[in-house]
Amino acid sequence: MATKKKRTPNVQNDSWVVIAADSAIDTQKHDSDPTFVRLRNPSTDAASLYLLGSGDVQLYEVKAFQEDFRSWFVGQSVQRDGRLMFVTPMDPLYLILPYLIKSGKEGKFQPLDQVIMDEELPACSRLLSCTRSLSSLHHIAEEKEVGGQKFHRYSQERTMNWLKKKVERTVVALKKTNISVGEGVKSTTYVRVKSESGTHEEDYLRYAHGLISDYISEDLSRALLKHLGLPELTSPKETEPPSKKRKLSDKPVEAGEDYTKFNSADFARKPSKKMSAAQKSLAKVDKTGMKTMSSFFSPKVKTEKK
Amino acid sequence: MDLKPFEADNSVSCRLTSPIPDVCRSEDCCLGVDEAGRGPVLGPMVYGICFCPVSKKEELKNLKVADSKTLTEAERENLFQNLDEASSYVGWATEILSPNTISVSMLQRTKYNLNALSHDTAIGLIQYALDCGVQLKEVYVDTVGPAEKYEEKLSQRFPGINVTVRPKADSLFPIVSAASICAKVTRDRVVKGWNFAEELGDVDTDYGSGYPNDPKTKAWLLKYLDPVFGYPQFVRFSWSTAQTLMDSKAVTVHWDDDEEDGEKAAQRQNNRSMLSYFSASAGANNQNPSHQTHRFFTERRLRSLDTLEV
C-alpha cells in the first residue's frame, strides 16, 4: 500500500535525550545551574549551541546525532525528536580565539573584557569565567601586566604552536581509538588479516588537521596546514588525466576509404523514378491546411510554462 | 489437542501434531492440505494436514468428514473427535501462523506475501510428514492462487509424489475435508482462548467473525485502536482494514522504506533527485558553502546545533 502520509506538524519539544559528562551536570560546588548558551562558532562564524557548566567553570559543546526516521520511547511516553545529543567538554580558547584575532589586527595590548564582546551574542563574556580560559591564554596571546591589570595581544606564532600540539594529540587519540583515517570507508566488522599498512602518518596528520579545522576559521586552518608542513591538496579535477587526444604523426592525413568515385564524371546519377498513377492522384489532392509528415518529428514549439 | 505450546507464546508460529499411525510408515499414503482463517483481520491462520493409507480412503469417507464450511462448530468438534479416535490409521498436524507472524512477514522490508507464506507453510507440513516416515504417494491441496502453478511448484518440490491441486478440494477429496476440519477446529480453539499479551484489562471478546466486512469486527477494531501502538498482536496489521483505520485515527509513523517520491521527499532525505542535476543551481543548498564539516562528524551523523528546538 503506497499511501502518502501527511507529516504531522512538529510540536514543541520540552525534553531531549542527552548524554553529558558527569561534570556538566554537577551543581554541588557552585550555586548556579548549568545553562545552554548561544555562542559564536569559530568555524562557521554563526551562532551555535554550547553549554556552560555550573558556575560557568567549564565549557561544553553540544552535538546532535540526527538521522531520519528516529523517535524515542522514554519511560511511558514517546518522543518524536529522535536525536541523541552529546554534551562534551571543550577548550574555551577555541571560542576566544576569533575575538582575539579580530582585536589583534589593531596590534595593541588590550584588557580581555574589552576584547571578548559581542553585541549579537552577549553570553560570550561568560567564557572568561572558565577556569581554563585565563590560565591558558598564554598559548594564543602575549601578556603584559601593568598596575595589576592584565593586557593581551594575539600571537599568531603561539597560536600555531598551540594548534600543532592539538593536532598531534588528536593523532594520538585517533590511533588509540582505531579510527579509519585513510581513503575510503573501512568496515568495523571486517577483520583484516594483515595489519593496516595503507594508512600513513600523513593520513593521520591530515585527518587530525581536518578535525581541528572544524573548530577554527578557514584562514587559520590554511595557516595551520602550512605550519604542519602539509602541502595543500589539489582538487581532484586537476589530478585527472587529460582527455585522450589523437596522436599526431608526421604522415600526411589520408582518408581511409576512397570516396571520390561518386564525384567523378562517369558516375551517372540514376534518373528519378516516374510517379505511379496512385502517386500522381495523391499529388493532386488539395493540401491546404495539412501538415507535412516531417513536421511531426521536428522539435515541439515550446509552450509557455505555468 | 494440546494448545499449551502455542498459548505459551502466541506471537510466533506453532505446530501441533498427532502421533503417527504405524500403518502410515509401511503403506502408501495420501495426504490432504487445507487452511482456515485466511481472510479474517483477527486471529491466526491455521494450516492443517491429514493423512491415511490409500487403502483406508473408504473408511475415511464413512467418518462423514465434509467441507468444514458446511458444518456447525459442534459438528466440526464431533468430526475431529472421530478423526482422533481413528488414530490407528489417521494422522494429522496443524501449523498455527500467529497474526503477529502474518503482520511481520507481510510488512517487513522484503515483503513476504500471504500466498508465499501459505505455500511455504503447506510445504513445511508435507515435509514434516515425510520426515516422520509417512509413505506419501498422493497429495491433495486446496488451491491458493492459480492451481496449475501451485501444482507445478509442489510437484517439483516433492518429486515422486502425485500432487493434485484443485479449487474446492475440501469438498472433492475426503482427506482434504479431514485436513480442513483439523485446521478449522484448531483455529476456533485458539481464537476462543486467545491470551492477549497486552495489558488490556477485561478484553471485550465480542468481535464477531473477525472478517473485515463484519460490522462487529470493525467496531472492535475502532475500540482497541491505540494512537501510538495501533493494535494488540491479535490483529493482522497488514490487512488494509487495520491500516486504513490506523492511517486515519492513529499517529502517523514514518518508516525508512516508506514509499515516497518527488522532489520534496528527496530533499527531506537529503538525497538529490535526478532532476536537480539539470537545474542551474545544482547542489547549492548548503547555506554556507565555504564551510564543510569534517567527515569525522558527517560520517557519524553528528552536527552542531544553533537551537534546542527541532
pLDDT in tens, B168-203: 888 888 899 999 999 999 999 888 888 888 877 777
Q: Rounded to the nearest 5°, which phi and psi values hold at A27?
A: -115, 10
Judging contacts by C-beta atoms under 8 Å, the chain B residues touching residue A51 are none
Nearest-Cα residue of chain B relative to residue A65: B302
- Rounded to an integer, what distance in angstroms lies between the CA atom of residue B254 and that of residue A4? 10
Among B294, B298, B307, which would you mutate to test the A interface (most chain A Cβ atoms within 10 Å of its Cβ)?
B294
Band of pLDDT at residue B9, cut at 50, 70 and 90: confident
DSSP structural state of residue A216 = S
pLDDT, tens digit, 9 for 90 and up, residues B195-226? 888 877 777 878 888 898 899 999 999 989 99
Pairing status of strand A59-65 against strand A84-90 = antiparallel
Classify residue B121 as exposed, middle or buried by CB count within 10 Å of its CB (0-12, 13-18, 19+). Answer: buried
Please report the ipTM that was assigned to this predicted complex. 0.74
Number of other CB atoms surrounding residue B111 within 10 Å: 11
Residue in this structure with the C-alpha cell 606564532, named with its chain if needed: A157
For position A191, what pLDDT does the model report?
Answer: 58
- Whether B243 and chain A come into contact, CB under 8 Å, resolves to yes
Q: Rounded to the nearest 5°, which phi and psi values hold at B276?
A: -65, -25
- Rounded to an integer, what distance in angstroms lies between the CA atom of residue B60 and that of residue B251? 53
Could you tell me the three cell numbers for B245?
A: 483505520
For position A81, what pLDDT does the model report?
Answer: 87
Judging contacts by C-beta atoms under 8 Å, the chain B residues touching residue A13 are 308-310
Judging contacts by C-beta atoms under 8 Å, the chain A residues touching residue B199 are none
Instruction: Give the H or E element holding residue A146.
Output: strand A141-146
pLDDT, tens digit, 9 for 90 and up, residues B150-161? 899 999 999 989
Nearest to B234 by CA among B276, B185, B200: B200
Nearest to B259 among A2, A7, A81 (CB): A2
- Rounded to an integer, what distance in angstroms lies between the CA atom of residue B286 and that of residue A24? 32
What CA dihedral angle connects B71, B72, B78 and B80, to 10 degrees? Answer: 60
pLDDT, tens digit, 9 for 90 and up, residues A96-143? 999 999 988 888 888 888 888 888 998 898 888 887 777 888 899 998
DSSP structural state of residue A1 = -
Cα angle A187, A190, A195 (rounded to 5 degrees) comes to 100
Nearest to B302 among A6, A63, A69 (CB): A63
Taking an 8 Å cut-off on Cβ atoms, the answer to whether B268 and A3 are in contact is no
As a whole number, the mean pLDDT across chain B is: 84
For position B286, what pLDDT does the model report?
Answer: 42
Could you tell me the three cell numbers for B33?
A: 492440505
For position A267, what pLDDT does the model report?
Answer: 52
For position B86, what pLDDT does the model report?
Answer: 84
Instruction: Give the H or E element holding residue B186.
Output: helix B174-192
In sequence order, what are the residues at sequence separation of 6 or more whose Cβ sits closer than 8 angstroms to the Cβ of residue B169? B32, B34, B140, B141, B142, B143, B176
- Rounded to an integer, what distance in angstroms lies between the CA atom of residue B24 and that of residue A238? 79
Taking an 8 Å cut-off on Cβ atoms, the answer to whether B296 and A8 are in contact is no
Could you tell me the three cell numbers for B95?
A: 501449523
Coil, strand or helix at A129: helix
For position B3, what pLDDT does the model report?
Answer: 79
Contact (Cβ atoms closer than 8 angstroms) between residue A92 and residue A127: yes
- Whether B290 and chain A come into contact, CB under 8 Å, resolves to yes
Band of pLDDT at residue B287, cut at 50, 70 and 90: very low
List B15's β-bridge partners, or say none.
Answer: B95
Could you tell me the three cell numbers for B185?
A: 477446529
Band of pLDDT at residue B111, cut at 50, 70 and 90: confident
For position B285, what pLDDT does the model report?
Answer: 41
pLDDT, tens digit, 9 for 90 and up, residues B130-156? 999 999 999 999 887 788 888 999 999
Nearest to A44 among B228, B288, B299 (CB): B288
Taking an 8 Å cut-off on Cβ atoms, the answer to whether A68 and B307 are in contact is no
For position A306, what pLDDT does the model report?
Answer: 43
Contact (Cβ atoms closer than 8 angstroms) between residue B118 and residue B97: no
Nearest to B43 by CA among B233, B213, B224: B233
Taking an 8 Å cut-off on Cβ atoms, the answer to whether B300 and A65 are in contact is yes
Counted across chains A and B, CB pairs separated by less than 8 A come out at 88
- Whether B260 and chain A come into contact, CB under 8 Å, resolves to yes
Taking an 8 Å cut-off on Cβ atoms, the answer to whether B259 and A48 are in contact is no
- Rounded to an integer, what distance in angstroms lies between the CA atom of residue A213 and that of residue A167? 10
Sign of CA dihedral B173, B177, B178, B182: positive
Summarize the confidence of residues B263-286 as an average pLDDT.
53
Could you tell me the three cell numbers for B291?
A: 564551510
Instruction: Give the H or E element holding residue A137.
Output: none
Nearest to A215 by CA among A85, A59, A106: A59
> CA of A289: how far to CAs of A221, A280, A292, B12, in Å?
71, 20, 10, 74
Coil, strand or helix at A80: coil
Taking an 8 Å cut-off on Cβ atoms, the answer to whether B268 and A68 are in contact is yes
Coil, strand or helix at B30: strand
How much is the pTM?
0.72
Judging contacts by C-beta atoms under 8 Å, the chain A residues touching residue B299 are 185
Nearest-Cα residue of chain A relative to residue B297: A211
pLDDT tens for chain A, 306 residues long, are 444 565 555 566 678 899 998 888 877 777 788 899 999 999 999 999 999 988 888 999 999 998 888 999 998 889 988 899 999 999 999 999 999 999 888 888 888 888 888 889 988 988 888 877 778 888 999 988 888 888 999 999 999 999 999 999 999 999 998 888 876 555 555 555 555 555 678 889 999 999 999 999 999 999 999 998 888 776 554 444 555 555 555 666 666 666 665 565 555 555 556 677 777 777 777 777 777 777 777 665 555 444
Number of other CB atoms surrounding residue B154 within 10 Å: 20
DSSP structural state of residue B251 = P
Summarize the confidence of residues B85-101 as an average pLDDT.
91
Contact (Cβ atoms closer than 8 angstroms) between residue B304 and residue A41: yes
- Whether B109 and chain A come into contact, CB under 8 Å, resolves to no
Residue in this structure with the C-alpha cell 589530478, named with its chain if needed: A239
> CA of A30: how far to CAs of A23, A26, A35, A50, in Å?
12, 9, 13, 19
- Rounded to an integer, what distance in angstroms lies between the CA atom of residue B168 and that of residue B155? 19
Among B279, B288, B304, B307, which would you mutate to test the A interface (most chain A Cβ atoms within 10 Å of its Cβ)?
B304
DSSP structural state of residue A106 = T
The separation between the first and the last C-alpha atoms of chain B, rounded to the nearest angstrom, is 56
- Rounded to an integer, what distance in angstroms lies between the CA atom of residue A59 and that of residue B168? 76
Interface of A with B (CB under 8 A): 1-8, 10, 12-13, 16, 36, 38, 41, 43-44, 46-49, 61-69, 78, 80-81, 83, 85-86, 179, 185, 207, 210-211, 213-214, 218
How many angstroms from the chain centroid is the CA of residue B174?
A: 25
